[in-house]
Amino acid sequence: MEIRIIRKQNGHGMLHCTRENGSATWLPLTPFFVIHDLCHYAVETTLGLRHAFYGMLAAGTDIRDFELPRDQRPFELTPEALQAEQLVNLLVIEYSQGWMENFLEELDQVNRMNNDRQQPVSLDEPTLEKIRVAFNMLTERWHSLSENESLVLNFTN
């Protein structure tokens, strides 16, 4: 699947995903969700998650359905999607608030709070560092774009 994030005014973006079969799904993004979705890409590709957010989009889920209240969505989040979301949320907090020295402990705490709903994300420091580097590279590329330029990524599920 080709992922294209087009830079719009004031850090906003347009996420456009074209699947292998030629179908597409797209959604305008606020600056927060541009960063959030770039983080999803770093997490999912580094960890080899194929059934999280981008995997669900590649499999045919309409991105606009993620905006619906949970009880109105025509799908259930996969266990991988739930795992990725926990990790992405912590990484975005770290991105916006600064280095989190006890990141893995925070992730363990989140895992314990959600242990009845999903398998916990298990990470070690070297893998976390690979995700951080990938995420940092993506955000740097995003911030270097001019208006109407695109960041193009590929996702294989």
Tens digit of each residue's pLDDT (9 = 90 or more) over 51-66: 999 999 999 999 999 9
Beta bridge partners of 16: 4, 26
Per-residue DSSP letters for the chain?
Answer: -EEEEEE-GGG-EEEEEE-TTS-EEEEEE-HHHHHHHHHHHHHHHHHT-SSSHHHHHHTT--GGGGGS-GGG-SSPPPHHHHHHHHHHHHHHHHHHH---TTHHHHHHHHHHHTTTTSPPP---HHHHHHHHHHHHHHHHHHHHPPTT-EEEEE---
pLDDT at residue 121 in the model: 65
Confidence category of residue 119, pLDDT binned at 50, 70, 90: low
| Residues 14-54 pLDDT 10s | 999 999 999 999 999 999 999 999 999 999 999 999 999 99
pLDDT at 94 over 90: yes
- 82 pLDDT band, cuts 50/70/90, is confident
pLDDT in the model for residue 117:
56
* CA neighbor of 3 nearest in space, from 48, 81, 49, 55: 55
- Bridge-based pairing of strands 150-154 and 24-29 is unpaired
Q: Which of 48-62, 103-117, 143-157 has the lowest mean pLDDT?
A: 103-117
Contact between 146 and 10 (Cβ < 8 Å): no
- What is the C-alpha to C-alpha distance for residues 116 and 101, in angstroms, rounded to an integer? 27
Domain positions in the chain: 2-146
- Which is more confidently placed, 154 or 157? 154
Which of 63, 57, 88 has the alpha carbon at shortest distance from 157? Answer: 57
What is the reported pTM? Answer: 0.93
pLDDT surpassing 60 at residue 98: yes
Question: What pLDDT, on the 0 to 100 scale, is given for residue 112?
Answer: 76
